[in-house]
Amino acid sequence: MAHDTKFTNQEFKIVGTRPLRPDGVDKVTGRAKYGADAFAPGQLVGVVLRSPHAHAKIKKIDTSKAEKLKGVKAVITSADLPDLTKGDRGMLDTLENCMARGRALYDGHAVAAVAAIDAETARKALKLIKVDYEILPHVTDVDEAMKPGAPIVQPHVRTTGVEPKPTKASNVSQVTEFGHGDVEAGFARADVVIERSYKTEQTHQGYIEPHACLASVGPDGQGELWVTTQGHFTFRTVCATLLGMDIAKLKVTSSEIGGGFGGKTHVWVEPLALALSRKANRPVKLVMTRDEVFRATGPTCSTSIDVKIGATKDGRITAAKATLRYQDGAFPSIWGMLGAMTSWACYDLENVKSIGYDVLVNRPKVAAYRAPSAPMAAFAVESTMDLVAAEIGMDPVDFRIKNAAKEGTRASYGPTYGPIGIGPTLQAAKNHPHMKAPLKKNQGRGMACGFWFNFGGQTCTDLNIGTDGTVSLTVGTVDVGGARASLSLIAAEELGIPYERVKCTIGDTASLGHNDTTEGSRGTFSSGMATIFAARNAIEVLKERAAKTWDIDVADVEWRNGSAVALRAEHGNLNELTLAELAAASPRTGGPIAGHNEVVADGAGVSFATHICDIEVDPETGKTQVIRYTVIQDAGKAIHPDYVEGQFQGAAAQGIGWALNEEYVYGADGRLQNAGFLDYRIPVCSDLPFIDTQILEIPNPNHPYGVRGVGETSIVPPLAAIANAVSNAAGVRMTHIPMSPPRILKAIKTAQRERTAG
């Protein structure tokens, strides 16, 4: 049956409360099974040989010695993975990223893989594989890669989005442009014009669980894959396509996931594990090392961005322009485009333009990282916003409030906004006690705004009612941070039963129809919507069973507070039938009671956040300390506020690490120099203060409960908020992320020298 997705402003009984998560006990006792926690009879250990070179032609691979080593059961190279992609260039890129085809494109690019009876034998076999490389010139910096004469990463790539169509290969895979109005006229009208350039370094999602899978393929063409993933249905489609298997014959089960943040939306080693298993005809477990995770999965882009803002003296922006250069690693993608789309989304602008460049370099293929591309653009835009506010002598919050987008604003990337939360988050920031708290010496305060689109997508859920009146809810989005609790709340709310009577499970690919990957903050939004509709379908069945039991017309039955109630005076003698009673009687009234729903969950509501932070800078060493941090974000509707707060806090912490510490460091040889948690330092417990949160609820008109995605937006403001705070504390504008102690110290010293010289 068709369901209405419109927001109805219903009163909630349990949505919005904070019950205990259903997977809590398993996770505090060590019982929860993650990617590396599965075992199969006769399983082999898979390991991967990786290129030590940033860019090299692979002239020959000799695996003969490895194959002869006792205990080795399979060795594969790209020769074992023929191109079955039928002209789908994106799919071929995925295959080539999983295993180099003639050329190694980055330090860490896989060139061969081995399955052996144990890890020791497998590692020994890797050393016996002889690869004959011819080293090629490489480029790892985004600006260098755009220069004429730069080494070409992908000779087949021609820049799209420019006229006339280029005939020569370029590292710029696409140019995209967004905006409206006439920016030059707008700048001409401005009293103040500020233009700055910014750089951000490459960071990694840094999930604590490395990629891991257990693959099993038999000679009958059937297979199973146990894997830590954000999208087991997508993994099934991709792996089946790359290996020439029937989609229905590959069952993919998502393990508990030990963090993803976008990094587990793509396949990396899974097709290799399946290919090894098929060749050895035994299960193969393949677990990446941390070094491999850093070198050979999908970090986010490093960027180089120019921003220009013009404004009148009274604080109205007359024109805004951004040029954004994002490196996508060694394969074309859309990250520069997303940077261009998100850059001005917070503001109501008459004249606006953003140009995005997607650039290829000899680094690993970039994957999504939480609100991908938006934090870097926000860093550049929000830093410049502060500079303009200071120049015209206006409070930075008031300046943003004056220019904030609102309902009816035409967004710089195209659509016209419905009800949105940017204005309310700014007002909340303005009124927040944090804004008025005193600062000590060497401390600075910064604030910034952020935007994320959010996503809905294909979703399928299944709700089955047991004869004891308990409910089994099966969803196809993975639970990355408490979704099972939220979805159980929604099912219980709809059915009118206690939360404890619902058990939510993540279904494998054989149990449900296709579900899109859990990305774009879509888990609770879209599976929540499908759960509401599945429950409503089940209620229709329950009402039919009650009507049948009472022998009355189903039109005279209503569902109220977990029971069927007979309407009309002549049915006044009929006692209501509870869900448990109807379930117990179900074997005699027509069999099992269930509700299903398949939906393309359109209408994901855009989300905005405003952050405030205080940073102390030691002017002698450049060391920073986060003193206070406040997150204000619009959630639409917080289903389980604990896990909404958790998303806000976790996103802010990732942003803090990105702003202050985290950075991929490449040597002149094009090799990654800090592929470990010691040298790639993510924030630890003693680095951070408590992170205060304020949840605003501006309902999304396109969801029955008003839900917006909440998972990503709060990684967008921190880079800028912290840069503004550090700049205020240090008395010098920081334009390069991360603001590590050496970079801050250098900026302070340079400013001192300029002051003395001036």
Partner 1 sequence: MSGIHVATTINGDAVEYVCDPRETLLDVLRNRLGLTGAKEGCGTGDCGACSVTLDGRLVCACLVLGAEAQGREVTTVEGLSIDGALHPLQTQFIAHAALQCGICTPGFLVAAKALLDRNPDPNEQEIRYALAGNLCRCTGYDKIVRAVSAAAKDVRKKQR
Q: Which of 1, 2, 9, 30 binds partner 1 (CB under 8 A)?
A: 30
User: Which of 646/701 has CB closer to partner 1?
Assistant: 646
Choosing from 284, 480, 495, 732, the residue that interacts with partner 1 (CB under 8 A) is 480
- In this structure, the number of other CB atoms found within 10 A of the CB of residue 327 comes to 32
How far apart, in whole angstroms, are the C-alpha atoms of residue 310 and residue 350? 11
The answer to whether residue 209 forms part of the interface with partner 1 (CB under 8 A) is: yes
Between 1 and 684, whose beta carbon lies closer to partner 1?
684
Enumerate residues 314-333 that contact partner 1 by CB under 8 A.
none
Name which of residues 482 to 501 contact partner 1 (CB under 8 A).
482
For residues 632 and 655, give the distance between their C-alpha atoms in angstroms, rounded to a whole number: 15
Strand partners, 5: none
Report CA-CA distances (Å) from 4 to 27, 122, 368, 609, 703. Answer: 37, 55, 31, 28, 9
414/324 Cα distance (integer angstroms): 18
Q: How remote is the C-alpha of 215 from its chain's centroid?
A: 25
Judged by beta carbon, residue 462 or residue 692, the one nearer partner 1 is: 692
The residues, any chain, with a CB within 8 Å of residue 304's CB and separated by 6 or more, are 142, 143, 197, 198, 199, 325
- Strand 443-452 and strand 352-359: pairing? unpaired
**Gap between the Cα atoms of 723 and 707, Å rounded:** 31
Selected from 6, 10, 12, 18, the binder of partner 1 by CB under 8 A is 18
Are 647 and 653 in contact, with CB atoms under 8 Å apart? no
Stretch binding partner 1 (CB under 8 A), from 436-444, 531-539, 681-689, 720-728: 681-689
Q: What is each CA distance from 474 to 488, 515, 536, 610, 696, in whole angstroms?
A: 10, 12, 15, 35, 30
- C-alpha dihedral sign at 574, 575, 579, 583: negative
40 binds partner 1 (CB under 8 A): no
Check: CB of residue 450 under 8 Å from CB of residue 346.
yes
| φ, ψ dihedrals at 212, nearest 5° | -155, 145
State the nearest-atom distance from the C-beta of 672 to partner 1, in Å. 15
The position carrying tokens 């003193």 is 627
Q: Rule CB under 8 A: is residue 268 a binding residue for partner 1?
A: no
Instruction: Return d(Cα 646, Cα 482) in angstroms, integer.
Output: 9
Q: Which stretch binds partner 1 (CB under 8 A): 64-72, 411-419, 458-466, 675-683?
A: 675-683
Q: What is the DSSP letter of 447?
A: E
Q: Cα separations (Å) of 378 from 274, 321, 338, 383, 635?
A: 40, 13, 12, 8, 20
Q: Is 375 in the site for partner 1 (CB under 8 A)?
A: no
**Distance of closest approach, residue 424 Cβ to partner 1, in angstroms:** 23
Q: How far is the CB of 267 from partner 1 (least distance, A)?
A: 20
The answer to the question of residue 289 lying near partner 1 (CB under 8 A) is yes
Shortest approach of partner 1 to residue 506 CB, angstroms? Answer: 13
| Interface with partner 1 (CB under 8 A), residue from 653, 659, 716, 747 | 653
> Is there binding between residue 258 and partner 1 (CB under 8 A)?
yes
Binder of partner 1 out of 584, 688, 695, 751 (CB under 8 A): 688
- Give the total of residues touching partner 1 (CB under 8 A): 56
- Determine the Cα–Cα distance for residues 318 and 353; give it in Å rounded to an integer: 12
**Interface pick for partner 1 out of 186, 356, 372, 481 (rule CB under 8 A):** 481
For residue 210, the minimal CB distance to partner 1 (Å) is 7
User: Is it true that the peptide bond before 164 is cis, omega within 30 degrees of 0?
Assistant: yes
Q: Shortest gap between Cβ of 558 and partner 1 (angstroms)? A: 36
Tokens standing for 714? 């709060």
Q: Which of residues 114-143 bind partner 1 (CB under 8 A)?
A: 120
The least distance separating partner 1 from the CB of residue 379, rounded to whole angstroms, comes to 19
Contact call for residue 665 and partner 1 (CB under 8 A)? no
Smallest Cα–Cα separation from 376: which of 424, 421, 327?
A: 327
695 binds partner 1 (CB under 8 A): no
Do 307 and 325 form a contact (C-beta atoms < 8 A)?
no
Tell whether residue 306 is a contact of partner 1 (CB under 8 A): no
Nearer to partner 1, 259 or 469 (CB): 259
Q: Does 25 bind partner 1 (CB under 8 A)?
A: yes
Could you give the CA distance from residue 316 to residue 194 in angstroms, rounded to a whole number? 14
**CB of residue 136 to partner 1, shortest distance in Å:** 31
Contact between 362 and partner 1 by CB under 8 A: the answer reads: no
Tell me the window of 19-27, 305-313, 381-389, 427-435 that interacts with partner 1 (CB under 8 A).
19-27
Distance of CA 52 to the CA centre of its chain: 29
Considering only 16, 34, 67, 69, the residue that binds partner 1 (CB under 8 A) is 34
Instruction: Return the residue of 2, 28, 569, 757 that touches partner 1, per CB under 8 A.
Output: 28
Q: How far is the CB of 34 from partner 1 (least distance, A)?
A: 6
Out of 14, 37, 159, 596, the residue judged to bind partner 1 by CB under 8 A: 37
Q: In Å, how far are 264, 648, 682 from 208, measured between CA atoms?
A: 12, 19, 11
- Least distance (Å) from partner 1 to the CB of residue 544? 39
Q: Is 17 a residue that touches partner 1 (CB under 8 A)?
A: no
Phi (first) and psi of residue 556, to 5 degrees: -95, 10
Closest CB to partner 1 among residues 76, 722 = 722
Q: Is 208 in the site for partner 1 (CB under 8 A)?
A: yes
E strands, 136-219, in order: 172-180, 192-200, 212-217
Residue 257 touching partner 1 (CB under 8 A): yes
The full length of the chain comes to 758
CA–CA separation, 72 vs 75, rounded Å? 8
CB of 677 to partner 1, least distance (A): 4
Which of 184, 676, 749, 752 lies at the binding interface for partner 1 (CB under 8 A)?
A: 676
**Site for partner 1 (CB under 8 A): which residue of 685, 756, 757, 758?**
685
Contact status: 718 vs partner 1 (CB under 8 A): no
- Which residues ranging from 621 to 650 are in contact with partner 1 (CB under 8 A)? 642-643, 645-646, 649-650
What does the binding site for partner 1 look like in residue numbers (CB under 8 A)? 18, 20-21, 23-25, 27-34, 36-37, 120, 205-210, 256-261, 287, 289-290, 480-482, 642-643, 645-646, 649-650, 652-654, 676-678, 682-688, 690-691
